[in-house]
Structure 1
Amino acid sequence: MSALLKDPLLKLRPLRESDIDAIMAVERRCYEHPWTPGIFRDSLKVGYHCWGYFLDEKLIGYAVMSVAAGEAHILNICTHPDQRGQGLARRLMMRVINRAREQEVDTVFLEVRSSNRIAQGLYESLGFNEIGMRRGYYPAGQGREDAILFAKVL
């Protein structure tokens, strides 16, 4: 386990609207086509499961998951580029998967860019299986990029 995950200043808590500026700072560093502040605000308003990891009060990772009709959909998971490779995304995934179990979810779904091999490896190591593809799902620098659809039966 990395030193980061043992750091006493690392805290996990539900996200709040007051975190949106910090979320956007990370989102813009990580994505060419980031979510908008309004998408995060709406996710909080409708009661999606929104969790963030904070290191000494600085947001370094977050996850957003919707739950309905026995299914969960991980909509966004992101870690600050400076904190990658230390197990934070795995911990975030485990947190939302456990929340899905608490909500008596049968299956958890997510999409990932076809080019994001690191994330695909993480999801597979957590028991997700590739179940399909969404053609042209993500905006890309030159057109659109396919998404691979993953599912995990709980």
Structure 2
Amino acid sequence: MSAVLDPLEARLEPMTLDWLEAVCAVEQRAYSHPWSRGNFTDSLAVGYHCQVLVADRTLLGYFIAMKGVDEVHLLNITVAPEHQRQGWAPLMLAALRGWSLTQGAMWLWLEVRQSNQRALEVYERNGFRRVGLRKGYYPSFNHHREDAIVMSLRLNERESAWGGLQ
């Protein structure tokens, strides 16, 4: 296990092509069915909101979100396995929430594997609610598919762009 890093040392910065090697390495360690390098390059190319969370030059995590008309869809949020359970996911969700508000979004949406109990707990603790089920949404092992739980978070118009109430 790595040393716990000071949250004050962490910063979000735009994901660039320079980060892709490290991002893909984390993605491979974190998931049984990881995104490909092409998924990341495509996300950057179309202008999705792609951020990395770093302390010094250590990649702690990243997220990718797609803006819609009055909503934002979280496509990928990942904390490096060696830095999990240190509060980084809620920090990234708060940053995403703040950015979404600045974009005029009223809702945040995401899908999560039904079997990913840890992620479900993090999302629920951060205000997301289960609103649906997508049958066979994710690839699984032996040519099977896994259901996705659809979750949403209603953004409060009284919140500031930093996630707190005004």
- Structure 1 portions without partners, runs of 5+: none
Residue 140 of structure 1 is matched in structure 2 by: 140
65-74 vs 11-20, which deviates more?
11-20
Q: Kindly state the Cα deviation for residue 3 of structure 1 after the two structures are TM-superposed.
A: 5.0
Give yes or no for the alignment of 1:4 onto 2:5: yes
Q: Kindly state the Cα deviation for residue 69 of structure 1 after the two structures are TM-superposed.
A: 1.0
Residue 111 of structure 1 is matched in structure 2 by: 111
Give yes or no for the alignment of 1:153 onto 2:154: yes
RMSD after superposition: 1.4
Q: Kindly state the Cα deviation for residue 141 of structure 1 after the two structures are TM-superposed.
A: 1.5
CA contact (8 A) 1:49 1:96 kept: no
Q: Distance in 2 between matches of 1:83 and 1:28?
A: 15
Residue 75 of structure 1 is matched in structure 2 by: 75
Identity across matched positions, percent:
39
User: What amino acid maps onto 2:121 in structure 1?
Assistant: G
More strand as a share of residues = 1
User: Which aligned segments of 4 or more residues in structure 1 are displaced greater than 3 angstroms?
Assistant: none
User: What amino acid maps onto 1:145 in structure 2?
Assistant: E
Residue 60 of structure 1 is matched in structure 2 by: 60
Residue 124 of structure 1 is matched in structure 2 by: 124
Q: Kindly state the Cα deviation for residue 4 of structure 1 after the two structures are TM-superposed.
A: 2.1
Number of residue pairs matched?
A: 152
TM-score computed with the length of structure 2 as normaliser? 0.87
- Structure 2 portions without partners, runs of 5+: 156-166
TM-score computed with the length of structure 1 as normaliser? 0.93
